[in-house]
A and B are shown apart, each in its own frame.
Chain A
Amino acid sequence: QKEVEQDPGPLSVPEGAIVSLNCTYSNSAFQYFMWYRQYSRKGPELLMYTYSSGNKEDGRFTAQVDKSSKYISLFIRDSQPSDSATYLCAMRWGADGLTFGKGTHLIIQP
Chain B
Amino acid sequence: DAEITQSPRHKITETGRQVTLACHQTWNHNNMFWYRQDLGHGLRLIHYSYGVHDTNKGEVSDGYSVSRSNTEDLPLTLESAASSQTSVYFCASSDSTFYGYTFGSGTRLTVV
Known: A42-B105, A43-B106, A45-B103. A97 touches B33 (CB 8 A): yes
B45 at the interface (CB under 8 A from A): yes
Kindly report which residue of chain A lies nearest to residue B58, judged by CB atoms: A97
Q: Which one of B48, B92, B104 contacts A96 once the chains associate, using CB atoms below 8 Å?
A: B48
Q: What range describes how many residues of A lie at the interface?
A: 20 to 34
Contact, CB under 8 Å: A43 / B103: yes
B62-70, B71-79, B93-101: which lies at the interface: B93-101
Contact, CB under 8 Å: B50 / A49: no
A11-19, A66-74, A98-106: which lies at the interface: A98-106
A75 at the interface (CB under 8 A from B): no
**Which DSSP category, helix, strand, loop or mixed, fits chain B's interface?**
strand
B16 to chain A, nearest CB (A): 28
Counted as pairs of residues, one from A and one from B, with CB atoms less than 8 Å apart, the total is: 49
A102 to B45, CA, bound (A): 13
A21 at the interface (CB under 8 A from B): no
A45 to B50, CA, bound (A): 21
A88 at the interface (CB under 8 A from B): yes
Known: A42-B106, A101-B42, A103-B42. A49 touches B100 (CB 8 A): yes
Complex contacts, A88 vs chain B, CB 8 Å: 42-43
Kindly report which residue of chain B lies nearest to residue A99, judged by CB atoms: B45
Of the candidates B35, B43, B45, B50, the one having the most CB atoms from chain A within 10 angstroms of its own CB is B43
Task: Using CB atoms and an 8 Å cutoff, list the residues of chain B in contact with chain A.
Answer: 33, 35, 40-45, 48, 50, 56, 58, 90, 92, 98-106
30 contacts between A and B (CB under 8 A): A34-B100, A42-B105, A43-B104, A43-B105, A43-B106, A44-B43, A46-B101, A49-B100, A88-B42, A88-B43, A90-B43, A92-B98, A95-B50, A95-B98, A96-B45, A97-B33, A97-B35, A97-B45, A97-B48, A98-B33, A98-B45, A98-B101, A99-B45, A100-B42, A100-B43, A100-B44, A101-B42, A102-B40, A102-B41, A102-B42
